[in-house]
Amino acid sequence: MNEFKNVVLVKHPLISHHLSIIRDKNTKSDRFRQSSQQIFKFLIFEATKNLPVKTINIETPLQSTDVEIINDEIKIICVPILRAGLGISEIFEKLIPNVIVQHLGMYRNEETLKPIWYYNKIPNKLNDSPKNYYIYICDPMCATGNSSYEVIKLYAKERQIPQENITFINLISCPTGMKKIFSEFPNIRMFTSAIDEKLNEKGYIVPGLGDAGDRLFNTMY
């Protein structure tokens, strides 16, 4: 059950079909990547409905007409959390015009389950009003919520971007991670294709799909 008002559980028969593929432990890496990206197309489509538009006039082969385009005064930022988020950002770049990709790298300490930073190339200062930034954080999983929490804090607190302009997109979430995030940032938006039951003792979502990064990049040794 979804108890969080700003979490959108995106449902569709095609999403369910591709979820069954990526959950299956026998699915090979290339097929896992393909189905994951198909799901993210649906999620990105829904998540970007908040982008502001403006009306311009163009000439068709027959006459002039008014059309709507994405407002070119805003900045659309895709933030893939390395490394698993890379499988999402390439879909974002194909779908969204003029998107800016800002990479952040973390890995999880397997004992404490806390994120450890290893890469951050986000500019320290904004070159426009914070309200003109629309942030889309991309990571396949919302498990403990620790990594996504740190990224949201980077934008919402340190750069003062309105929480309403920050969206977290993931394949699978669980209540533990969602509570971690929304206890501090109640007004961000989250789009996911599944909300699973819980975390196991190692901090993996159950039933989940295993380690998304390993399965995306075929590094299951």
- Alpha-carbon Rg for the chain in angstroms: 18
Q: Considering its fold, how many domains does the chain have in total?
A: 1
Is residue 12 a part of any domain in this protein? yes
Is residue 22 a part of any domain in this protein? yes
Region 166-172: mean pLDDT is 96
Region 78-98: mean pLDDT is 84
Q: Please indicate whether residue 117 or residue 83 has the higher confidence score (pLDDT).
A: 117
Q: Which of 141, 137, 134 is nearest to 193 (CA)?
A: 141
Is residue 1 a part of any domain in this protein? no
Span 8-33, pLDDT tens digits? 999 999 999 999 999 999 999 999 99
Entry pTM: 0.92
What CATH number should be reported for the domain holding residue 116?
3.40.50.2020
pLDDT of residue 77: 95
Angstrom CA distances, 81 to 54, 145, 208, stand at 31, 12, 19
Span 188-210, pLDDT tens digits? 999 999 999 999 988 899 999 98
What dihedral do alpha carbons 25, 198, 202, 154 form, nearest 10°?
110
